[in-house]
Structure 1
C-alpha cells in the first residue's frame, strides 16, 4: 500500500514539475540546504511526538476515523488533505505522525482487551451452563413423544366415533345459522322500503351495507348470489332517492332531512360526490325555477330558450313576473345559505369525531367547495335576472312602477353583496343605464307639467297641518329615518347610508320563512296632512269635520282664519316629485347629482315664475326694491333654466310660463290680488323651509359622490336662492301698495305747498292728511284678506313697503321745490314728524321703516356749503333729480356752485 501511495504521489509531482530538464538529478541534491532543513523538521516532528502523551495523541486523531462508515477509505482521506504541490518532506512528516497515532491506538486497544478479559471468562461460564440445561430439556421432550405414541396406539374405535359425531353436530349448527341468516336477508327488502319512506337514509344505508357484507360471506350459495345482485339494485335505487331528495332540498331546505342525507352519504363514503351533486342540482334548480316562472306568464312552446320566453312576457305582467322570479330564486339562495350554516355548525363536531386523514380531507374539500359555490350560485341568479331585465322598455312604466323595479333590483344587489360580498355589476349597470334614461325622460315631462300646472294655479290656500313637513308626504315615507337622522348627522368620511338602512336586515329573512320580496318594497302610508277646520282667530285646529272637500266652504262661511304653513297645489306637487326623485337616488347613488340638480330646478322655476307673475304689474322703479342677492339669483335662473323662442331648445331648459288670468290684479275689492300674492310668495318661503329640512340629507348624497362641483352648486343654492326667497316680499307686495296710495295726488298736493314761508307753522300740510287717510284705508283692507290671517312677518313686510313708498314719495315731492327757506325746511320736518308719529300709532310698526331716508334729505339743507360736497359723496342712495332739487334750493343764490355740483352729481351717477 505504501509503494502504491508513493507511486501515485510521484506521478502527481511529475505533472507539476517544471519543463526545464533536471538532468536526472534528485531535487534534494540540487538543493542540499532545503534537504537539511527537511531532515531537521522530521527529527523535530519525531521528537515532538515522543514528547506528547498518549492521551493527547488520541485526542488529536480526526473524528472521521471514529465514524462507523464501512465505505470510509483512510487512504483517500489522507490524499485529499494533501496540497496541490506535493513535497516528500511533508509526506514523511505526515507519515511519521500517522505511524505514531497507529502505535498509540494499538497500544490502547490492547490495554482495553486486557481489562475486559475477566468479564469475558465469566460470560463463557454462563454459556456452558445454558448448554447443560438445554441437554436436559431435549431428554424430557424425547420421553414425552414416546408416551404420546403409546397413547395413540391404545385409542379405541368408539372414541373416534364420538369425535366424528361431534364434528357433524358442529357442521349442522353452522348450516342452520347460515340458513337463518339467508332467511333474514330475504326479508330485508321490506324493511329497507320502510326506512326509505321514513327518510331514514342512514338506517337504510347501514342495513344495506350489513346485508351486502353478509351476502359476501355466503356467496357460495346460489340464492345468496341472486340476493346480492338485488341488494346492489336496491342500493342504486337508494342513491337515486338520495339524489332526488337533494334536488328537493335546493328549493325547500329541511335541516332534519339534510342531516339524514349527509349521514347516508358519509356511510357510503361519497361525501365529496354528494357536494358535487348538490352544486349541480342548485344550478339546475336556478334554471328550472326561472324557466317555469317565466313560462307560467307566457305559455306557448316549452321548447323555447329562456331568453326567448322572457321576450314573450306581456308588458302588464313584467313587474309581477320579476317579483315572482326574485322570490323563486331567493328560495334557492336561502336554501344554499342554510346548507352553508349546516356545514358550519357541524364542522367543529366532525373535527372532534373524525380523526382519520381521509375524513379531514373530505371536510376541507366540502368547506372550500361550499364557500366557492355561493359566488357561482349568485352568478347564475344574476344572469337569469339580467336576461329578464333586458326585455324591459323602461320608458313605458309609470314612476311608481319604475321605482318598484328599481327597488327589486337594488334589493337583489344588496342580497348579493351581503351573501357573497360580490358587486353585481350586471344588475348595477342595468340600474345605472336605465335610471339615467328613465330619469331624463321623466324629468322633462315633469318640467313641462310643472309649467302647465303653474299656468293653471288658482293661488288658493292648500290648508295643511300646523306641524306639516315634507316627511308627512307618502313620497317621503321610505326616506323618513334617513332625513331625520341626517338633521343631526355631521358629514364625514365615515358616513355610510347603507349601514343605516341595511344593517342586519338580511338576517331576518334568512332565519325565517319571510321573503324580502313578499312585502311592498316601498310601503305607502295613510297620508294625513290636511287640516279639517279652524278655530276663530286662535289658530288651533279641531277635527270636527271628516270631509276634506268642505274645507274651503266652511272656511268662507264661518270666517275662520288659517294660520298654518302656506302651501299651494304647485308647491305640494314639487315636494311630491322631490320625494320621488330622492327615492330614486336612494336606490341608485350614481344619479344623486342629477337628482339634486333637478330638485333645484323645480324650486328655481317656482321661485322665478312667482316673481314674474306677481311683479308683472309693478310700475314704480324697481331699483331700490331688489337686494343684490335677489337680482343675481333672478338673472342666473333666467339664463340657466329658461329658453326663449329665438333660441334652440336645450336639454334641461324649459319655456317660461305664460302670464294669464290676472284679472284680480286690477280688482280693488280684492286688494289687487294681495291674498294671491301673499300665498304665492309665502309658499315660496315655506317651500324653501322644506328644502332647508332636506339640506343635510342632500349634502350627504353629494358627499358620497365626491363631486366638488355639485357640492358648490348645492351650497350656492342654499346660500343664494333659498336665502333670497324672503326678499321677494318687497317687489311683489309693492305692486299692491303702489295701487293703494295715489302717488300723483300726493305729489300734486305737495307741489301746492309754499316752501318759502318765513316762520314754521303749527299745522301740518294737507298732503299729510291724504297720506294718513290712505294708511287707514290700507289697514282696514289688511284685516280682511281672504280666509287667512296675515302673519306678523308678512304684515311687517307690507307696512315696510308702505313706508318705503311714502318716504320715497316725500323725497320726490320735496325735490320738486325750486325754492325753499329755513321755514320751509322746518315745515317739511313738522309734516314728516306728524306723519311718522301717526304711522307708528296706526300700524304699530316702530320705528317707521326708511324714515332716515327722508330725515337725512331734510337735514341736508342745514349742512354748510363747504361740507355739502362731502355729503354728496357719502349719500348715493338719492337719484340725480333728488340731489339736483336739493342743490337748487341750497345754492339758489350761487349759480356757479349750483351748476358745478349738479354736474358733479350727474357725473358720479353716470359712472355707477
Structure 2
C-alpha cells in the first residue's frame, strides 16, 4: 500500500505541475485542462514555459524521492540488530527489504514521467543555451537517480540521445558556416587580450575551473591531470536527500571577466578618444556577435572586439576575433559532452573539425603558395593531413556528387588583407597573427586534451591523442607562411643579374670582393630594418624572426650557387674570387644579427666552390653524393667550368643527365 501511495504521489505531482504550465491554445474547441491526461498536458506547454515547467517537475519529483528516502531511513534506523526471530523484528526486516526494492519502482515511475514530458515537446527548436540547460537539468536528475537506486536511467538517456544528436548536427553545421564567414571577414589583426589571459576565464569554459577539473593552461606552472569524473558538481546534501535542497534551481550566468588589455586597446591619439569598439559601424551586424546560430538565433552575451591598431603587449597571446570565437565554441561543445555523455564522441569529432577548418584556412591563405612552390617545406605527414582535412570538410570546386549539407566551401581571404605590397613586407603582420594565433589555438586544444579524454568513453579516449597529431602540425605552417616574405622582400634577382655580368675567367687574384656582395648585404640590412618597423605594429615572436632570417640567408646562399653556376668560363683565380666574395659576405652578415649557429647552407656554397678543384673520379663521386642538394643546371655549370678535358666533362654531363632522368631515391 505504501508503494502504491508513492506511485500515486508521482502521478499526481507530475499532473499538477503540467496543469500549472499548460496553455489551452487558440483551438476552436480547447481541451479541458482539468480533465486532460498528463501526456496531452505536456503537449500544451508553450516553449517559453518549457524550462520552468521542467524545473518544477523535477523539483516536485525530487520531493517525492526525499519523502520516500525519509521513510526508508526511519525504518532502517530502527532495523533490529542480529537475527532476532521475534515476529515484530521479522516484520520490520520485511518492510525494510520491500522499501529497498521499491526504490527502483519509484524511480521508474519518475523516469517515465520526465521521459513523457521531454518526448511531448519539440526541444530541437531551442536556443543552444536553453538546450544545454534542459540537458543539464535532466543530467542532474539522472545523477540523483544513480544515488537513489543505482539506476543508469537508460530510458531517459535514450529519449534524449536522438533528439540531442539531431539538434547538435544542425547546430554544428551552422557553426561551421559561421566560422567560414568569420574567416572570410577576418582582418588578421590582434585582439588585445591581457597578458594574463587564460581560456578558463571564458564564460563558456568556466565550468572546467572547479578543483577536480582544473589543470594549468600553457605557459603556467604545470598542474596535475584532472580527475576521471567530470560531472558537474551536485548540490550540497544531494546524497542525503534533504527536502530543503533545491538541486534544480537555474543559476544566473556570471558576468565574464574582463579579458582585454585597456592599454593595448586604447587609441594612441591620447585622452578624449572613444573606446576601441565604440565605433563599429564598419562591421557587419552579424559579425558584432560571436557565432550566431543560424538555426536558433542564439547570440552569446559578450561583445565583439575590434582588433587593436597598435602593437599589443609582447607577452600577450596571439588571439584573433575568429580564434577567440573558436575557443568559445570549444567550451560550448565540451559542455554538451559533459551534460550528455551518450553523444560525447560525436561532439568531440565536430569540435576537432572547428580546429581543422581554422588550420586549413591559415594554410590556404598564407602558406599554400610557398608549399606548392617548394614541396619539401612541409613534411609528408603534414601534407597528407592537410589533404585529408580538405577531403573531409571542404566541397570540391565543382560541388558535384556531394550532399548539400555534408561539407562547406573553402574559405576565401578577405580582399582587405594585402599580401602583395612590398611596403608592408608582403603582409608580414597578418601572416604573423595568423600563424601564431593558430599555434596558440593548438596549445589550448592540447591543454583541453585531458578534459576531453575524461569526458569520453574509455574506448574512445585514444581518438584525442590521434587528433593531437594533427594539432601538433600547426607549428609546421610557420615555415611556409614566413618563407614567402623572405623570398619576395629581398632583391635576389638583382643580385643574380649582377653575378651574371661578373667575370670569372681572370688570371690574377683580386684583393677586393665583387660589387654584388655589397648589394646583397645591403638588401639584408634593409630587410632587418623593415622587420623592425613591423615589430612596432605587432610583436614579432622569436620563432618568426628566426625563420625569416634563416630563410633569407638560405636563399642568399642559393643565389650564390645559382650565380656561380652561370659562369661560362672560370679560371682558378676566378674560383678564388668566388671564395673571397663568399667569405666577405659571411663576415658582413654575421655582424648584422647575432647568430648562435652557423649560417644556413653556408657549407653548400663552400663545397660547390671547392668541387672545382677535384679530379675527375673524385668529382664523379661528389656529383653522385650531392645530386639532391644541387639542381641539374648547377651541376652542369660546375662541370662546364671545370679543369677537365672535353672527354672527361662529357662523361660527367652524361652522368648528370642519367641522374636527372632516374626516379628519385627513397
On whether the aligned pair clears a TM of 0.5, the verdict is: yes
Report how far residue 752 of structure 1 moved.
0.9
Aligned equivalent of 1:740, options 473, 477, 489: 489
Report how far residue 758 of structure 1 moved.
2.8
In the alignment, the residues of structure 1 paired with residue 326 and residue 408 of structure 2 have an alpha-carbon distance, to the nearest angstrom, of 16
User: Scaled by the length of structure 1, what TM-score is found?
Assistant: 0.63
State whether residues 460 and 568 of structure 1, in contact with CA within 8 Å, keep that contact through their aligned partners in structure 2: yes
In the alignment, the residues of structure 2 paired with residue 572 and residue 416 of structure 1 have an alpha-carbon distance, to the nearest angstrom, of 38
Structure 2 partner of 1:575: 327
Residue 284 (1) aligns with residue 16 (2): no
Structure 1 partner of 2:361: 609
Structure 1 partner of 2:588: 838
Query: What are the Cα deviations for residues 513-536 of structure 1, in whole angstroms up to 9, with x where unaligned?
Result: 22110242x954533322222599
In the alignment, the residues of structure 2 paired with residue 282 and residue 442 of structure 1 have an alpha-carbon distance, to the nearest angstrom, of 40
State whether residues 829 and 855 of structure 1, in contact with CA within 8 Å, keep that contact through their aligned partners in structure 2: yes
In the alignment, the residues of structure 2 paired with residue 822 and residue 549 of structure 1 have an alpha-carbon distance, to the nearest angstrom, of 67
Residue 585 (1) aligns with residue 337 (2): yes
State whether residues 618 and 735 of structure 1, in contact with CA within 8 Å, keep that contact through their aligned partners in structure 2: yes
Report how far residue 587 of structure 1 moved.
2.0
Could you list the runs of 4 or more consecutive aligned residues of structure 1 that deviate by over 4 angstroms after TM superposition? 485-491, 500-506, 522-525, 545-548, 550-557, 616-620, 909-912
Change (3 A) 1:854 1:550: farther
Report how far residue 283 of structure 1 moved.
1.9
Report how far residue 775 of structure 1 moved.
1.2
In the alignment, the residues of structure 1 paired with residue 514 and residue 17 of structure 2 have an alpha-carbon distance, to the nearest angstrom, of 92
Query: What are the Cα deviations for residues 569-617 of structure 1, in whole angstroms up to 9, with x where unaligned?
Result: 1111111111111111122233232222222222221111111111466
In the alignment, the residues of structure 1 paired with residue 454 and residue 625 of structure 2 have an alpha-carbon distance, to the nearest angstrom, of 46
Query: What are the Cα deviations for residues 5-33 of structure 1, in whole angstroms up to 9, with x where unaligned?
Result: xxxxxxxxxxxxxxxxxxxxxxxxxxxxx
Aligned equivalent of 1:863, options 598, 601, 614: 614
Change (3 A) 1:654 1:345: same
Change (3 A) 1:600 1:892: farther
Structure 1 partner of 2:650: 896
Structure 2 partner of 1:597: 349
In the alignment, the residues of structure 1 paired with residue 608 and residue 278 of structure 2 have an alpha-carbon distance, to the nearest angstrom, of 55
In the alignment, the residues of structure 2 paired with residue 340 and residue 315 of structure 1 have an alpha-carbon distance, to the nearest angstrom, of 38
State whether residues 183 and 413 of structure 2, in contact with CA within 8 Å, keep that contact through their aligned partners in structure 1: no
Query: What are the Cα deviations for residues 866-904 of structure 1, in whole angstroms up to 9, with x where unaligned?
Result: 122322233212222222222222266334223322223
Residue 771 (1) aligns with residue 502 (2): no
Equivalent position SS for 1:664: coil
Structure 1 partner of 2:316: 564
Change (3 A) 1:450 1:664: same
In the alignment, the residues of structure 1 paired with residue 84 and residue 448 of structure 2 have an alpha-carbon distance, to the nearest angstrom, of 62
Q: CA RMSD in A?
A: 3.1
Structure 2 partner of 1:146: none
Structure 1 partner of 2:377: 625
Aligned equivalent of 1:370, options 93, 96, 99: 99
Change (3 A) 1:450 1:554: closer
State whether residues 563 and 788 of structure 1, in contact with CA within 8 Å, keep that contact through their aligned partners in structure 2: no
More helix by share: 1
Structure 2 partner of 1:152: none
Residue 715 (1) aligns with residue 446 (2): no
| Greater relative CO (CA pairs within 8 A, separation 6+) | 2
In the alignment, the residues of structure 2 paired with residue 793 and residue 363 of structure 1 have an alpha-carbon distance, to the nearest angstrom, of 76
Change (3 A) 1:519 1:749: same
Change (3 A) 1:512 1:867: farther
Segment drifting more, 776-785 vs 379-388: 776-785
State whether residues 191 and 306 of structure 2, in contact with CA within 8 Å, keep that contact through their aligned partners in structure 1: no
Report how far residue 474 of structure 1 moved.
1.4
Structure 2 partner of 1:649: 402
State whether residues 535 and 561 of structure 1, in contact with CA within 8 Å, keep that contact through their aligned partners in structure 2: no
Report how far residue 341 of structure 1 moved.
1.5
Structure 1 partner of 2:61: 329
In the alignment, the residues of structure 2 paired with residue 439 and residue 452 of structure 1 have an alpha-carbon distance, to the nearest angstrom, of 20
User: Scaled by the length of structure 2, what TM-score is found?
Assistant: 0.85
Correspondence list, 1:492-507, <5 A? 496-497=228-229, 507=238
In the alignment, the residues of structure 1 paired with residue 323 and residue 487 of structure 2 have an alpha-carbon distance, to the nearest angstrom, of 28
In the alignment, the residues of structure 1 paired with residue 70 and residue 63 of structure 2 have an alpha-carbon distance, to the nearest angstrom, of 10
Residue 698 (1) aligns with residue 483 (2): no
Change (3 A) 1:374 1:815: same
In the alignment, the residues of structure 1 paired with residue 621 and residue 12 of structure 2 have an alpha-carbon distance, to the nearest angstrom, of 93
Aligned equivalent of 2:188, options 449, 454, 459: 459
User: Whose radius of gyration is greater, 1 or 2?
Assistant: 1
Change (3 A) 1:598 1:771: same
Residue 815 (1) aligns with residue 546 (2): no
Residue 346 (1) aligns with residue 78 (2): yes
State whether residues 509 and 516 of structure 1, in contact with CA within 8 Å, keep that contact through their aligned partners in structure 2: no
Structure 2 partner of 1:677: 431
Query: What are the Cα deviations for residues 44-72 of structure 1, in whole angstroms up to 9, with x where unaligned?
Result: xxxxxxxxxxxxxxxxxxxxxxxxxxxxx
Structure 2 partner of 1:446: 175
Aligned equivalent of 2:261, options 507, 531, 551: 531
- Count of residue pairs the alignment pairs up: 614
In the alignment, the residues of structure 1 paired with residue 372 and residue 172 of structure 2 have an alpha-carbon distance, to the nearest angstrom, of 38
Change (3 A) 1:724 1:857: farther
Structure 2 partner of 1:71: none
Aligned equivalent of 1:379, options 105, 108, 133: 108
Correspondence list, 1:26-41, <5 A? none
Aligned equivalent of 2:531, options 782, 787, 795: 782
Equivalent position SS for 1:724: helix
Residue 436 (1) aligns with residue 165 (2): yes
Change (3 A) 1:857 1:550: farther
Equivalent position SS for 2:418: helix
State whether residues 474 and 526 of structure 1, in contact with CA within 8 Å, keep that contact through their aligned partners in structure 2: yes
Q: Structure 1 unaligned segments of length 5 or more: list them.
A: 1-275, 537-544
Correspondence list, 1:201-280, <5 A? 276=1, 278-280=2-4
Report how far residue 429 of structure 1 moved.
0.8
Report how far residue 403 of structure 1 moved.
0.9
In the alignment, the residues of structure 2 paired with residue 372 and residue 762 of structure 1 have an alpha-carbon distance, to the nearest angstrom, of 103
Report how far residue 773 of structure 1 moved.
1.5
In the alignment, the residues of structure 2 paired with residue 745 and residue 429 of structure 1 have an alpha-carbon distance, to the nearest angstrom, of 71
State whether residues 234 and 247 of structure 2, in contact with CA within 8 Å, keep that contact through their aligned partners in structure 1: no
Aligned equivalent of 2:130, options 401, 408, 415: 401
In the alignment, the residues of structure 2 paired with residue 906 and residue 697 of structure 1 have an alpha-carbon distance, to the nearest angstrom, of 52
Report how far residue 356 of structure 1 moved.
8.4
Aligned equivalent of 1:312, options 28, 34, 44: 44
Report how far residue 556 of structure 1 moved.
5.0
In the alignment, the residues of structure 1 paired with residue 509 and residue 124 of structure 2 have an alpha-carbon distance, to the nearest angstrom, of 80
Equivalent position SS for 1:788: coil
State whether residues 496 and 563 of structure 2, in contact with CA within 8 Å, keep that contact through their aligned partners in structure 1: yes
State whether residues 563 and 791 of structure 1, in contact with CA within 8 Å, keep that contact through their aligned partners in structure 2: no
State whether residues 238 and 247 of structure 2, in contact with CA within 8 Å, keep that contact through their aligned partners in structure 1: no
State whether residues 534 and 561 of structure 1, in contact with CA within 8 Å, keep that contact through their aligned partners in structure 2: yes
In the alignment, the residues of structure 1 paired with residue 55 and residue 639 of structure 2 have an alpha-carbon distance, to the nearest angstrom, of 83
Report how far residue 660 of structure 1 moved.
3.9
Report how far residue 450 of structure 1 moved.
0.9
Change (3 A) 1:607 1:859: farther
Structure 2 partner of 1:357: 86
